[in-house]
Structure 1
């Protein structure tokens, strides 16, 4: 049977962190054996709000690729490719913009939230506003039917499917397939400060290359329950950052449930919880950090992985572009 096709990826704005691992990387590792998976180094998308610093975007292509390989992404199973070197994506983006209105782009909940978070007001970069059409181009160019995303990104997949339906209706036949959002059970990890999502720019993330001291300091600084002033005080589990991380990474569910009950009743200190979490994170990150250090010593290999994957991706995306333009009856020379 033909393997389901998955497209996923990351903006090349900085090294990846635990939020990426919990939200997408674990799923990618699980999917890569039984699915045809494409992993996009999204440098063009990164420019939508980093055009003032293209060097940052360029440098982080290698950084993100290092993280992919360090966590166990296998280039024999997963195609790692560079967005800016796939011209069909830009051409399909331009085409798709004719099938969506500015008002619809502005109504997209994901775009609205991101515009507010970045404080753009009405000074919105056009590339940022048009991102839903560009993502639709990315997804459909690979003919992906599964797209792992966070829950907050699901409206983008919905808008992709709207564009797909319009393209198919205009062509009078089914050229493109709709995609399904694959949302991780663990949800979005908060930052260690508990105030926002974990982010590369927010200073509240634990990177996948963090040192033992950095991990220890981050866990120590995590917010728990402000009302849990003494060990014997009953504590709140919901919204407690340490428990949120334990939910994401502690594989002993029976023991975790016992700790939650104990904390709610009182008699369990925050230090005990943080010690358990630190041990789990140290064990998780250590092998990733070590593999990354080894890979960084052979950047020619990392570059060859990107180059070979991009060549394979270029063939796939050019073929889709040809199908779409012919299906719509555009002029051919």
Structure 2
């Protein structure tokens, strides 16, 4: 974790329900969430409405993956007695707040958001951008502020979204004359953005370079075997580069034996250490991490009624809170009441 946080804090974070979670999610945010739930009030949002922004042609995919992401949360260590897991589409206050917030941000500012700009480029939208996708920062601001969150565990690529949320918060608070909505702080882990196994982009389900939290041992072995190392490290005796070497990036992220990893790096740099030796260590580390998660997930999947009950109770608690925030904002803005 990049820094210590002092209670009290209200945490809001979540994931788009487009598929099972992978190690990039775990390193970027999920690991932090598991730790933080013991010290803070935490809400986890299954963002199915936002997942429609670029999956409107396949809403069934979005719906199916609500349960898949919930299973990953629980299997990774999220405790429903400590964290509230809720479904975005069942919280109508979020959509209403999004509509209000869109009046406090300009089109030009939305287009300048680096995260949105990068995602538009990676999806090849050009100017054929779904309006809902472009408005994603306002929707995320609604999510965060509806829970009055002050801390948001995210990967480093999401930091501009938190910045834009706070811009919207400041404009609204100036409009109403007092600080109704709190600003939020991004909590970014030291690892930041985890690259895909190909080393060419961040880990992504859509790019086929991800290791799922439910991966089998064989799938982990295959992924590590394909990992990008140092193309100039042709012989074991050759000195190798650690920087940009995906295998070492993953060891930094997931191997708790820091001194041993430092020794491996030094050996690799001076030569005499083969890629396969380093990859075998990484295979062992990832199997030890993913194996227990995979087993818990399989057990939970055999009891879908339990998972649905977790989502129903969590969403019911979230409805009370988000509706209260919406009512406060309506009153503060002086909106018409029947």
TM-score after normalising by structure 2: 0.97
Runs of 4+ in structure 1 deviating by more than 3 angstroms, as ranges, are none
1:160 aligns with 2:165: yes
Match in the other structure for 1:57: 62
RMSD of aligned alpha carbons: 0.9
Counterpart selection for 1:19 from 21, 24, 29: 24
Match in the other structure for 2:254: 249
Match in the other structure for 1:283: 288
Match in the other structure for 1:222: 227
Counterparts of 1:218 and 1:96, CA distance in 2: 42
Residue deviations 1:19-40, cap 9 Å, x none? 1111111100110010000000
Match in the other structure for 2:3: none
For these two proteins, the number of residue pairs brought into alignment is 333
Residue deviations 1:156-202, cap 9 Å, x none? 11111111111111111111111111111111111111111111111
1:205 aligns with 2:210: yes
Counterparts of 1:248 and 1:229, CA distance in 2: 25
> Alignment partner of 1:47: what SS?
helix
Unaligned 5+ residue runs, structure 1? none
Counterpart selection for 1:182 from 187, 190, 193: 187
Structure 1 residue 2: deviation in Å?
6.9
Structure 1 residue 3: deviation in Å?
3.1
Match in the other structure for 2:45: 40
Structure 1 residue 223: deviation in Å?
1.2
Residue deviations 1:271-324, cap 9 Å, x none? 110010000111111110000000000000000100100000000000000111
Structure 1 residue 131: deviation in Å?
0.7
1:95 aligns with 2:85: no
Counterparts of 1:205 and 1:112, CA distance in 2: 22
Residue deviations 1:196-235, cap 9 Å, x none? 1111111111111111111111111111100000000000
Counterparts of 1:172 and 1:223, CA distance in 2: 54
Match in the other structure for 2:263: 258
Counterparts of 1:60 and 1:32, CA distance in 2: 23
Counterparts of 1:235 and 1:228, CA distance in 2: 5
Counterparts of 2:232 and 2:250, CA distance in 1: 19
**1:86-125 correspondence to structure 2 within 5 Å:** 86-125=91-130
Match in the other structure for 1:293: 298
> Alignment partner of 1:291: what SS?
helix
Counterparts of 2:51 and 2:203, CA distance in 1: 17
Counterpart selection for 2:146 from 141, 149, 152: 141
TM-score after normalising by structure 1: 0.99
